[in-house]
Structure 1
């Protein structure tokens, strides 16, 4: 039989197929990311410069990652067509896949670690809280370093047939990423649920329905985003360890970095809906209002029977929900809620229900 008509290797489809799927997935996530970044640009022009730099910097990384996987896909599916050696010899773009995934995931995980810190520092003073924060940061940095090591070693190997030599670094990278995601999800769910439980105290019954719904939504979003990123990292690791002789893991690896960045974009953009008026199921005599000011940010107030709840997104203070009694008039000063007539029972009348710092990023 002529060698030019010889059939391709038995696992050829399990190499080029996942590369095609992963490339299409990556392009789809890039399109979603473009939309998310546009929404962010239009909705939050007053965010802190550091936050803007982080968002646009990660978006720039998304573009570079797309260029890298496009080069790799072209090498496998275009320029290498009919050349069996191109089924295992890779190019520069392929080597950069772990780098982009590790760095982008670490940036997003450190962002959520900061959220947990600012949210939890007002609600917990136990040593276990600091242990969890340090553990998230440590695991996140470790997986990023492992991803960079994987990229460096792969650049010199440049052969899929030798991928077994990277088992250690790849395992630390993907397993560490999944562990960090799980820790973040559990920590944020615990903190937000703790705040939600406080809204059920007797003196808040019937007055904090909107607050509880908002916190329930935060918990749902946290679990969903954490499950997506952690599940993708675990799936990539399982495919890599179980099917190392083919490219099944590439279907996930090509889009992994963009899953993380889109998680960050979506998380920031959810702020746009938190200050919206929710007129559903208002209590007797309830009054809802939503305001937006260049000085105090976004404020949602809910008044019932002389009591008032305030959810404020200020430039300098996290979202804090307070209960003010009828004899107290709330005054906003640099993002803080003050009472013009404080009494000895202020500790009972002004109870911070939740500090939703994760939704406040303005200067």
Structure 2
């Protein structure tokens, strides 16, 4: 996959791809470390989460291999032949892989929205999942078109509208999920005791930090694609965008232990019991777009000075 006709300026074409690939490989290393930490910290986690972590890592390995091969082919195999840099089939092939990674991650957080938001707002999660699924199908279709394209100029003329649509939808889903969870956490903060509000403040900060990163990266990629279609800077950003999503997912899963400890400390070790799972056996995740809190029907009484107050239990 690539952009339209571009001048043979190595600094904004091959140079940009090389820098992007370095970031991609670096982030893949962090993805691998995060995956290892997950399996080490949560050996008894649900099989669905274990499968999700493994699937994302395998997809990332394929994505990184495709990016590395394309950069090698462009900078080594075609060294001294810049005029032959008219197609990038390997990068086109990993478009589908990137779409699959984005679908898995966004679906994870969309499900959290569906579970924690009240009606009718919970259906925001359904809409986000549907848009992400359509985006993935479009990415797969673009993969076939990019591999079969004879040159980037033809590809850009025919499919620029679809590439733009995919980038816009992905960015919109990121922003909607992040804003929805920030609204939810802000609402809950005003309803709880001071000590629980402190924990919610931590969740809000975590959501902003991680959600802002992926949202800004996706927005920057879209801006570069629309304003600089004749170079490969936007494509360099695309080479590591999927890895930001993967790291966000792994960070969400791995942060559960610290959040449990924060809840335990906020309520007092002798007064609150923080379970690993909710009533259905589901572990609760935190992430860049949706840091989820599952509400249980049981209550936990937390004495506050001489007046006991009751808050609903949080399960992490």
TM-score bucket of the superposed structures, by smaller chain: 0.7 to 0.9
Aligned to 1:36: 34
- Relative distance call for 1:47 and 1:194 in structure 2 (3 A) is same
Structure showing greater radius of gyration is: 1
- Offset at residue 237 of structure 1 (A): 1.5
User: RMSD between aligned alpha carbons?
Assistant: 2.5
Aligned to 2:268: 302
C-alpha separation in 2, matches of 1:161 and 1:277: 54
C-alpha separation in 2, matches of 1:110 and 1:52: 16
C-alpha separation in 1, matches of 2:84 and 2:203: 47
1:19 equivalent in alignment to 2:17: yes
Task: Identify which range, 129-138 or 260-269, moves more after superposition.
Answer: 129-138
- Relative distance call for 1:169 and 1:219 in structure 2 (3 A) is same
C-alpha separation in 2, matches of 1:133 and 1:277: 27
- Relative distance call for 1:158 and 1:31 in structure 2 (3 A) is farther
- Relative distance call for 1:325 and 1:149 in structure 2 (3 A) is closer
Given the alignment, which residue of 138, 146, 168 partners 2:161? 168
Q: Give 3-state SS (helix, strand or coil) of 1:324's partner.
A: strand
TM-score under structure 1 normalisation?
Answer: 0.74
Show the 5 A alignment for 1:45-124. 45-91=43-89, 93-120=90-117, 124=118
C-alpha separation in 1, matches of 2:260 and 2:248: 20
- Relative distance call for 1:351 and 1:273 in structure 2 (3 A) is closer
- Offset at residue 273 of structure 1 (A): 1.0
1:271 equivalent in alignment to 2:256: yes
Task: Identify which range, 96-105 or 243-252, moves more after superposition.
Answer: 96-105
- Bigger relative contact order, structure 1 or 2 (CA pairs below 8 A, ≥6 apart): 2
Say whether the 8 Å CA contact 2:38–2:254 is kept in structure 1.
yes
1:215 equivalent in alignment to 2:200: yes
C-alpha separation in 1, matches of 2:198 and 2:84: 54
Aligned to 1:151: 143
- Relative distance call for 1:324 and 1:261 in structure 2 (3 A) is same
TM-score under structure 2 normalisation?
Answer: 0.84
C-alpha separation in 2, matches of 1:303 and 1:253: 46
Say whether the 8 Å CA contact 1:177–1:230 is kept in structure 2.
no
Given the alignment, which residue of 295, 301, 304 partners 1:324? 301
Task: Identify which range, 262-271 or 150-159, moves more after superposition.
Answer: 150-159
Say whether the 8 Å CA contact 1:164–1:244 is kept in structure 2.
no
- Relative distance call for 1:75 and 1:181 in structure 2 (3 A) is same
Q: Give 3-state SS (helix, strand or coil) of 1:312's partner.
A: coil
- Relative distance call for 1:44 and 1:82 in structure 2 (3 A) is same
Task: List alignment gaps of at least 5 residues for structure 2.
Answer: 1-5, 281-293
- Offset at residue 159 of structure 1 (A): 2.3
Aligned to 2:291: none
- Offset at residue 12 of structure 1 (A): 3.0
- Offset at residue 249 of structure 1 (A): 0.5
Aligned to 2:276: 313
C-alpha separation in 2, matches of 1:244 and 1:252: 13
- Relative distance call for 1:68 and 1:24 in structure 2 (3 A) is same
C-alpha separation in 1, matches of 2:216 and 2:158: 24
- Relative distance call for 1:87 and 1:196 in structure 2 (3 A) is same
Q: How many residues align structurally?
A: 292
Q: Deviations over 1:331-355 (max 9, x none)?
A: xxxxxxxxxxxxxxxxx965416x4
Say whether the 8 Å CA contact 1:312–1:319 is kept in structure 2.
no
1:138 equivalent in alignment to 2:115: no
Say whether the 8 Å CA contact 1:149–1:169 is kept in structure 2.
no
Q: Give 3-state SS (helix, strand or coil) of 1:258's partner.
A: helix
